[in-house]
Amino acid sequence: MPAFDYRKIMCRPPPNPENSRTQSRTALLHWEEMTHSDLLPAWGRILRGYRPMLSLEITKECPLRCPGCYAYGGQHLGELVTLRDLTDRRGDDLVNGVLAVVRRHRPIHLSIVGGEPLVRWRELDALLPKLDAMGVEVQVVTSAVRPIPAHWASIPSLHLVVSVDGLPPEHDRRRTPATYERILKHIAGQSLIIHCTVTRHMLAREDYLHEFAEFWSNRPEARKIWFSLYTPQEGETSEERLTRDDRRRALSMLSGVAARFPKVYLPRVVMDGLLHPPESPAECIFAQSTTCISADLETRITPCQFGGKPVCEECGCIASSGLASIGRYAIAGMVPVSALFSVSRKIGTLWGAAA
Ligand code: SF4
Ligand code: SF4
């Protein structure tokens, strides 16, 4: 195979220099880093038949009942079983089970979700240093419903992401018992990412997202703020779902917010992806490069982390958007990355089948 100069991928720079890749190695999926230091190893993995990213639901338990939660949706794991039906693990059984899955899949990046991962904080306490020693970048997505152990702040490969559903009045109503008061107490001393999924109620006021970004920009624990848009399932009618017009308004508001608050990570590459999401899972680089496994550590979640039948054309996932956008860029002005990716996946699948 001819040498591939991955530095020639033409990604436009993010609009705000503070948002550049030098700010941190956050990970939801490092699309900026993937154009540089992570792209070649990721491609190498794909060519050997591996998917470079892994997402694990490590428990089926969660003390919250958030409206619009896809994990507990009836179709999340298909027609036959729901997350609550699975037999999940705990203690050494969970620790060893996760390590076995990681050794089998050899991901560059592991996303640990739930349920609520902190329900298994003791197991995570044992796992995270081991994963760090294995060189795996780990993202833990949590509601911060319980205290985050202070010593996790010194694990280099760990990226904590706290989900916050808007400003206190709405968030506390939707996500009790993980209220603002608790979150602020439980994240003390950490340096983490605040992640807000924009749903319809946040668009009722023009300055809502601005206020949200201002609040978290002023908190020392928040090193970065992510926004994604609510991704519905086919046939869903819910208060969360954005109309086409809502989506346009949300992106226009977010563009203003990103220009005003440096902690908001919304580079052009993500914005472009949110404006033009993949048309189907087959077109989605994120879905094609991520293995998603549920709480029994066996059941696959398809076609992507949302499970069920997500509406790709209304996808609001920033990882999928960023990668979709990168996929449209040309290498050396000629070959779209998505085309190279698709060929690489086919070679990798054949290689994997032949091995
Ligand atoms: S915290 Fe997460 S898993 Fe739990 S109900 Fe809310 S969205 Fe679902
Ligand atoms: S819903 Fe989004 S992340 Fe899932 S397959 Fe469709 S485009 Fe990809």
* In contact, 329 and 31? CB cutoff 8 Å: no
Given pLDDT bands bounded at 50, 70 and 90, which one contains residue 24? very low
Q: Determine if ligand 2 sits within 6 Å of the CB of residue 70.
A: no
Given pLDDT bands bounded at 50, 70 and 90, which one contains residue 288? confident
Question: Given a cut of 90, is residue 20 above it in pLDDT?
Answer: no
Given pLDDT bands bounded at 50, 70 and 90, which one contains residue 254? very high
Sheet with 222-229, side-by-side order of all strands: 222-229, 192-198, 158-163, 137-142, 109-113, 53-57, 290-293
So what's the pLDDT on residue 319? 84
Q: Determine if ligand 2 sits within 6 Å of the CB of residue 322.
A: no
So what's the pLDDT on residue 339? 64
**Which residues, in sequence order, are CB contacts of 177 under 8 Å at separation 6+?**
63, 64, 145
Least confident stretch, 81-85, 98-102, 295-299, 323-327: 323-327
So what's the pLDDT on residue 342? 65
Question: Given a cut of 80, is residue 34 above it in pLDDT?
Answer: no
Question: Given a cut of 70, is residue 47 above it in pLDDT?
Answer: no
Q: Where are the alpha helices (DSSP H) in the chain?
A: 31-34, 39-47, 91-105, 121-133, 168-175, 180-186, 208-217, 244-260, 268-275, 285-289, 318-328, 337-354
Q: Nearest ligand to the C-alpha of residue 287?
A: 2
So what's the pLDDT on residue 336? 62
DSSP string over 140-192: EEE---SPPPGGGGG-TTEEEEEE--SSHHHHHHHHTTS-HHHHHHHTTT--E
Q: Atom 5, ligand 2: which residue's CA is nearest?
A: 281
Cis amide prior to 177 (ω within 30 degrees): yes
Say how many Å lie between the CA of residue 304 and the centre of ligand 2: 6
pLDDT digits (tens, 9 = 90+) for 238-253: 999 999 999 999 999 9
Question: Of the residues 300, 315, 321, which should be mutated to test ligand 2's pocket, given the most ligand atoms within 8 Å of the CB?
Answer: 315
Nearest atom (ligand 1) to Cα of 72: 8
Given pLDDT bands bounded at 50, 70 and 90, which one contains residue 1? very low
Alpha-carbon span 155 to 28, nearest angstrom = 17
So what's the pLDDT on residue 294? 98
Percent of the chain clearing pLDDT 70 (strictly above):
77
Q: Nearest ligand to the C-alpha of residue 145?
A: 1
So what's the pLDDT on residue 31? 43
So what's the pLDDT on residue 269? 83
Cβ-based burial of 264 (10 A; exposed 0-12, middle 13-18, buried ≥19): buried
Q: Atom 7, ligand 1: which residue's CA is nearest?
A: 69
Given pLDDT bands bounded at 50, 70 and 90, which one contains residue 326? low
Question: Given a cut of 50, is residue 276 above it in pLDDT?
Answer: yes
Say how many Å lie between the CA of residue 25 and the centre of ligand 2: 23
Given pLDDT bands bounded at 50, 70 and 90, which one contains residue 341? low
Say how many Å lie between the CA of residue 93 and the centre of ligand 2: 31
Question: Given a cut of 60, is residue 28 above it in pLDDT?
Answer: no
Alpha-carbon span 203 to 225, nearest angstrom = 18
Question: At 110, phi and psi to the nearest 5?
Answer: -120, 125
Q: Determine if ligand 2 sits within 6 Å of the CB of residue 228.
A: no
Question: Given a cut of 60, is residue 226 above it in pLDDT?
Answer: yes
Question: Of the residues 55, 59, 62, which should be mutated to test ligand 1's pocket, given the most ligand atoms within 8 Å of the CB?
Answer: 62
At 7 the three-state DSSP class reads: helix
Question: Given a cut of 50, is residue 18 above it in pLDDT?
Answer: no
At 44 the three-state DSSP class reads: helix
So what's the pLDDT on residue 32? 43
What does pLDDT average to over the chain? 85
pLDDT digits (tens, 9 = 90+) for 122-147: 999 999 999 999 999 999 999 999 99
Alpha-carbon span 114 to 200, nearest angstrom = 24
| Mean local confidence (pLDDT), 97-123 | 95
Domains of the chain, earliest start first: 18-339 (3.20.20.70)
Say how many Å lie between the CA of residue 300 and the centre of ligand 1: 19
Structure-block tokens of residue 292: 């998603």
Say how many Å lie between the CA of residue 239 and the centre of ligand 2: 20
So what's the pLDDT on residue 224? 96
So what's the pLDDT on residue 321? 81
Q: Determine if ligand 1 sits within 6 Å of the CB of residue 83.
A: no
Q: Determine if ligand 1 sits within 6 Å of the CB of residue 251.
A: no
| Mean local confidence (pLDDT), 201-212 | 96
| Mean local confidence (pLDDT), 274-299 | 92
Q: Determine if ligand 1 sits within 6 Å of the CB of residue 305.
A: no
Question: Given a cut of 80, is residue 120 above it in pLDDT?
Answer: yes
| Mean local confidence (pLDDT), 258-283 | 92
Alpha-carbon span 5 to 39, nearest angstrom = 11
Q: Determine if ligand 2 sits within 6 Å of the CB of residue 304.
A: yes
Neighbours of 349 (CB within 10 A): 12
So what's the pLDDT on residue 337? 61
Q: Nearest ligand to the C-alpha of residue 53?
A: 2
Residue given tokens 């496994």 in the structure block: 293
DSSP string over 293-315: E-TTS-PBP-SSTT-S-B-GGG-
Q: Atom 6, ligand 2: which residue's CA is nearest?
A: 312
Q: Atom 4, ligand 2: which residue's CA is nearest?
A: 304
* In contact, 229 and 261? CB cutoff 8 Å: no
Query: Within 13 Å of residue 85, how many CA atoms lie on the same side as its CB?
Result: 11
Given pLDDT bands bounded at 50, 70 and 90, which one contains residue 38? low
